[in-house]
Each structure stands twice: as C-alpha cells, then as structure tokens.
Chains A and B, each alone.
Chain A
Amino acid sequence: MASTASPFPFPHRSPVRISFFAGFAVLTVFGLVPAALVLVASFTDLRGLPGIPVNFIGIDNYRSFFSAAHLDDNLNALKNTLVFAGVSTVVQLALALGISVLLNRPLRGRAFYRSVVFMPTVLGVTVIGLVWSLMFNPSGGPAAKVLSWFGTDSAFFGDPKLALALVTFVQIWAVVGVSVIIFLAGLQSIPEELYEAASIDGASGWKRFRLVTLPLLAPSITANVLLGVVNAMQSYQLTYVLTGPSNKATQVLSLMVYVQGFGGTSGTTLSQSQGYAAAISMVQFVLVGAIVVVTMRYLRKREARL
C-alpha cells in the first residue's frame, strides 16, 4: 500500500525511530511480554512469593486442570463461561436491535434516549455492581417488593439457581448501549429509498425489517456478535463485584485465574500456584480464539449469502 512508495521528507530518520521504538519498548515490556510469558508460566510451578525457585514441570498444570480432583470445578466454570457468554451475546444482540430500530424512528428527544442507553458504558463495574445489588436487595429492594406482590420472595444473587441469570442480566444492561450505537450507525447507512420502495411493493413493517433492514445490517451484526462474544468470554469484573470471587454458581474461567493466582481472600496469596492459574489463562485463551474463529467463519459465510 502507501507504505511501499513513500519518500521520506524529513532530513533524518533517527528521530522517527527513537520515538517509535520508545513507545514500542514500553508497550512490549509491560504489555506484550507479560502476555507471551503466560504460556511459559503455565509450564512452571511459579508461586506468588519472590525468591522461591521456579521449576519447569512440563504439562503437569494442564494435567491437573483435567484431573479428577479439579474436573468438576473446572467443568462448572467452563459451563458457566459458555452459558454466560452465549446467553448474554444473543439477548444483547436482540435487545440492541430492538432498541436501535426504535431509536432510529423520528421521535422527539431521540438524542437524549440514545445517551441514556449508552450511559452505563462510563459507569464502570463497581458502580453498576452496587446499583444492582441495591435493586436486587433481598430484604426490601424494588425487585423483592415486586415479588412480594405475587406472594413470593427470592435471595436473588444469593440464590445459586438464579445468580448466573442475574449477573448475565446486569452484564447485558451494562454493555447493550455499545451494540445500540453500532446498530444505529448501520441503520443510518441504509438508504431511505429502499424502505419507500419496499412499502410500495407492498411489504409490511415486519417484511421490510426482514428483507431490507436485516440483510443490510449484516456487517453491524457481525461486529456486534464478535465484540459481544469476546467481551463476554473475558469479562469477570462484574461477577467479582456482584457475587464475590469464589461463588460456585457464577464462577467463570477468567475469575478462576484470579482466585487460583491470588486467593481471592487475603493471606492465601503465598501458597497459591500461579503456574496453575496461568494454565487456566491459556485454556481460556485457546477457547476464546476457537470460538472467535468459528463465529467469524459462520458470519462471513452468512454475510456473503445475503
């Protein structure tokens, strides 16, 4: 591209190189090197205390991950991760599609509505976690009040059967605004004439949506699915704030890295096997990579068909 045939206008190349590699050095040392070393650490018996010799132990950490002693916990976390990521991506997509079609109509105060939906993006997990802990407060919160009208109650985040669903709900609430923004940009790029043409051809509202909106939104759908899956597979901060680090009902793989590596409770740090935690990181990384490749293949094919 442009990079091949570009005369360099400035007298010296060295300033370019100096600042470029200064930036790259910082990025490498603190960003890329730790990321790459996760793989190395996963083959060692690294611990959380400095000064203890570190030994290579081959694939023992991975063997341990799939061993009988850990398999139950790990399968549980794996299942939670997949359910959380799958459900939140699908619901988020559907909800975002509905909201963006709604907010694409010429309504009064439309810009304000869009801002409101996008706002959780800045609130952050701690605030969002506390807001929803308050909403789902079992003793007298609004949700409990509604349930009491029907004569029932619930422990909400304390109920192991319900906790994961509620965390998923809060996650969707927190990130749906991003999908809405992406869909709105996609909707605005659809020429108005297509809709006029479709109505003249006698297409009903639903048919216009299915035959005009959906096919032309395909690139935005791809972007949203990928973003949603990658984000949901790796997100654990909200789980951490809402239900604590070692709640079996909501345990996900990335939170297990934290629990295994740092104990979750203070004082346990020293005995934790960080090599094992690194192995969990790698298992998760490979899983995310595989899912991204498969979804991308599928969505590309779909896009091409439409």
Chain B
Amino acid sequence: MSTLTSTSTAAAPAATPSGRHAGGRTRPPRRRGRIWLYLCVAAVLVLFLFPLLFLANTALKSNAEFASNPVGLVHSPHWSNFSQAWSKGNFGSYVLNSILYTAAGAGIGTFIALVMGFPVARGYVRGGKVWRAVFALVLFLPNALITQFQLLLRLHLYDNRLGYILMVGVGVGVGPLLFSGFVSSLPRELDEAAAMDGVGYWRYLFTFVLPLARPALVTCFILQAVWIWNEIILATVLLADPTKFPVTVGLYAFKGTYGNQWGLLAAATLIVAAPLVIGYLFIQRYLVNGVLGAVKG
C-alpha cells in the first residue's frame, strides 16, 4: 500500500498526459465497458423493481383473469380490488392504529434519546462512560418476548394500546447513541450564554436544543418509526383484540382469509406498501444518515 502511494505521487505529473491520451485512443473498449455497466445496473433494477411492479400488475386482476393469466400483463384493470380489499380487510382502522402506535412509540423513543442523550454528551450527569455503555447495551438485548408479555400481563397492560406503545417506545435502538454523538457538534458556549440570560434547563432543552438538533432528532424518530410501522411479532403477542391490531397484523390476517384470491391480496398488500414507498421519497435522506451515523457510533 504505502509503496504504491509514494511511487505514484512522484510519477503522477509526468504520466498523466500520456495516460489521458491513451484513454482517448482506447475509446471503443471503453464504450463497450459502459454498456456492460448499464446492463449490470439494469439487472439490479429488475431484481428490486420487478417484484413491486408485478405486485401492482396482480392487484389489478380479477379472480378470473388471475386464474387464466397469472403472469401476463393485465388486460382489463379491475380497480375495485382496492376498494374491496380496503373494506373487507378493515384497513381503515388498522391504519389508524398503526399511525397511533408509530407516532406515540417513536415519540417516546425520541424523547428518551433527547432527555438522556443531551446531558450524557455534555457531562451534566455523573458516570458518562456507564451511560454510554447503556446506550450501546440496548442494541444487544436478548429476545425478551416472554418477559415483555409477562410484564404487561402483571401490570394489567396486556391487550392494551398503552402497553404496546410503551413496549415499542423503548425500542430506541441507536437513537440515544446517535443523538449524543450529534450533541457534541452543538457549541457548549450556547449552554453558558443561555444560562447567563436566566434560561432554565428545561426551557433551554426544548426551545433551543430541540430546534437546533432537529435533523438528528428526526433521524432518530424516523428510524424507530419505520421499525414500529413494520413490527408484527410483538403486536401478535401483546395484543389479542383485532380492533387494536396494527396494519401489519391486519394484512397477515387478511392473507389467512383471502390467501387464494391473489388479486385482492395483492391490492391489500399495495394499500399497505404505497404509503411506505411514497413516504420513502421524503425520509430516505434521514434513513441514510441514520444508518451511517449508527455505523460511526
């Protein structure tokens, strides 16, 4: 490695012009290379987009058309699949449940990241190292399905919306770690200046830190929100009443009932997937930041 670098820096200025010249002469193979590149890209796109396009195609087929032509392009779009799936699957109330669980759960998690992450990063509470270890520890907890169920049972929070929200709310993942990493980029002088002006800690935390740290907090919120929106096992275990099910469990139950009517089932799947795909366009940036921040931390 090091030898490669040192020889190159010396040789670089002299060699570049001829190198560029050679590049111009070898244009035909280059172009062939680019075609290969785009073929590879096309293969990747097919791998990732075809399943979703095929889902949309199936969602427009009536039972009869699916039976006679399961793979081909749809002939007579059967739009009523969507309205039928929506009402038969009761997705309206499932979606409302999911919105409640996701907003409240990710809200609790982000709040925890804020009130714990800030003082730890600033050293305003004793034992900074221990707390940082706790933030890392929450990423490596054992599968606690049994005890989570038992705890809610004993607190009389089993089959209770609040119980489920609290359980997914503490699934903070990388949140506190991510946020305390971000806090170090906020100038410490700001704390001192605000305190000097007589601003109390809570007012400072919620009216100064919160807006300044919004990108980091939004990242924490979205990472957890995506997890909660898609969570299915805890909801299956902790909720028994179908009117409280989130949309994931609702869709899984729908599959159990209408498993052989693929047109309807695909429409239902698309109803659940569409908000995710559309929302993805807006939250992608935060997700990428979250993943990269988590790896650094």
> Are B166 and A26 touching (Cβ within 8 A)?
yes
Q: Is A82 close to B, CB under 8 A?
A: no
Which of B73-81, B84-92, B123-131, B212-220 participates in binding chain A? B123-131
Contact residue among B15, B41, B184 (Cβ-Cβ distance under 8 Å from A102) = B41
Given A15-B200, A122-B279, A211-B1 contact (CB < 8 Å) = yes
Contact residue among A12, A182, A199, A262 (Cβ-Cβ distance under 8 Å from B295) = A182
Q: Which residues, 128 to 145 on A, are CB-close (under 8 Å) to B?
A: 130-132, 134-135, 137, 139-142, 145
Q: Is A282 close to B, CB under 8 A?
A: yes
Question: Which of chain B's residues have a CB closer than 8 A to the CB of A206?
Answer: none
Q: Is A86 close to B, CB under 8 A?
A: no
List the A residue with the shortest CB-CB distance to B272: A127
Given A12-B201, A124-B276, A135-B51, A23-B144 contact (CB < 8 Å) = no
Question: Which of chain A's residues have a CB closer than 8 A to the CB of B232?
Answer: 124-126, 237, 240-241
Q: Which residues, 1 to 54 on A, are CB-close (under 8 Å) to B?
A: 1-4, 6, 8-13, 15-17, 19-20, 22-24, 26-27, 29-35, 37-38, 41, 46, 48, 50
> Are B1 and A41 touching (Cβ within 8 A)?
no
> Are A122 and B287 touching (Cβ within 8 A)?
yes
Q: 1/0 per position for B16-31, CB-CB distance to A under 8 A?
A: 1001000000000000
Contact residue among B48, B112, B167, B281 (Cβ-Cβ distance under 8 Å from A120) = B48
Q: Is B185 close to A, CB under 8 A?
A: no
Given A117-B44, A126-B251, A34-B124 contact (CB < 8 Å) = no
A236→B16 CA distance, assembly (Å): 53
List the A residue with the shortest CB-CB distance to B148: A34
Interface size on A, residues (CB 8 A): 105
Question: Which of chain B's residues have a CB closer than 8 A to the CB of A9?
Answer: 191-192, 194-196
> Are A278 and B49 touching (Cβ within 8 A)?
no
> Are B55 and A24 touching (Cβ within 8 A)?
no
> Are A237 and B233 touching (Cβ within 8 A)?
yes
Q: Is A200 close to B, CB under 8 A?
A: yes
A19→B202 CA distance, assembly (Å): 8
Q: 1/0 per position for B257-270, CB-CB distance to A under 8 A?
A: 00000100110010
Given A26-B112, A122-B280, A193-B12 contact (CB < 8 Å) = yes
Q: Which residues, 198 to 239 on A, are CB-close (under 8 Å) to B?
A: 198-201, 211-212, 215, 220, 223, 227, 230, 234, 236-237
Q: Is A164 close to B, CB under 8 A?
A: no
> Are A38 and B146 touching (Cβ within 8 A)?
yes
Which of A68-76, A150-158, A253-261, A295-303 participates in binding chain B? A253-261
Q: Is A281 close to B, CB under 8 A?
A: yes
> Are B195 and A10 touching (Cβ within 8 A)?
yes
Question: Which of chain A's residues have a CB closer than 8 A to the CB of B122?
Answer: 2-3, 6
Contact residue among A20, A258, A282 (Cβ-Cβ distance under 8 Å from B142) = A282
Question: Which of chain B's residues have a CB closer than 8 A to the CB of A285?
Answer: 142-143
* Interface size class, chain B: 35 or more
Q: Is B171 close to A, CB under 8 A?
A: yes
Question: Which of chain A's residues have a CB closer than 8 A to the CB of B237?
Answer: 258, 261-262
Q: Which residues, 109 to 136 on B, are CB-close (under 8 Å) to A?
A: 111-112, 114-116, 119-120, 122-125, 128-129
A237→B54 CA distance, assembly (Å): 23
Q: Is B277 close to A, CB under 8 A?
A: yes
Q: Which residues, 151 to 167 on B, are CB-close (under 8 Å) to A?
A: 151, 153-154, 166-167
Nearest-Cβ distance from residue B221 to partner chain A, whole angstroms: 14
A215→B154 CA distance, assembly (Å): 53
Nearest-Cβ distance from residue A63 to partner chain B, whole angstroms: 19
List the B residue with the shortest CB-CB distance to A260: B146
Kindly list the 9 A-B residue pairs having the minimum CB-CB distance in the complex, ordered from nearest: A197-B8, A124-B230, A3-B123, A140-B70, A3-B128, A31-B170, A285-B142, A9-B195, A6-B123
Having A38-B147, A181-B291, one finds 7 other A-B pairs with CB under 8 Å, namely A15-B202, A31-B171, A34-B150, A113-B41, A124-B226, A125-B230, A197-B7
Q: Which of A's residues lie within 8 Å of B, judged by CB?
A: 1-4, 6, 8-13, 15-17, 19-20, 22-24, 26-27, 29-35, 37-38, 41, 46, 48, 50, 99, 102-103, 105, 107, 113, 115-127, 130-132, 134-135, 137, 139-142, 145, 173, 178, 181-182, 185, 193-194, 196-201, 211-212, 215, 220, 223, 227, 230, 234, 236-237, 240-241, 254, 257-258, 261-262, 274, 277-278, 281-282, 284-285, 288-289, 292, 306
Q: Which of B's residues lie within 8 Å of A, judged by CB?
A: 1, 4-5, 7-9, 11-12, 15-16, 19, 37-38, 40-41, 44-45, 47-52, 54-55, 58, 70-71, 108, 111-112, 114-116, 119-120, 122-125, 128-129, 137-138, 140-151, 153-154, 166-167, 169-172, 184, 188, 191-192, 194-196, 200-202, 204-205, 226, 229-230, 232-233, 236-237, 248, 251-252, 255, 262, 265-266, 269, 272-273, 276-277, 279-281, 283-284, 287-288, 291-292, 295
26 CB-based A-B contacts, threshold 8 Å: A1-B123, A3-B122, A3-B128, A6-B122, A6-B188, A16-B201, A27-B138, A30-B167, A32-B137, A102-B40, A115-B280, A118-B284, A134-B51, A134-B266, A185-B292, A196-B16, A201-B4, A201-B11, A212-B4, A240-B233, A258-B145, A261-B145, A261-B237, A274-B146, A284-B143, A306-B1
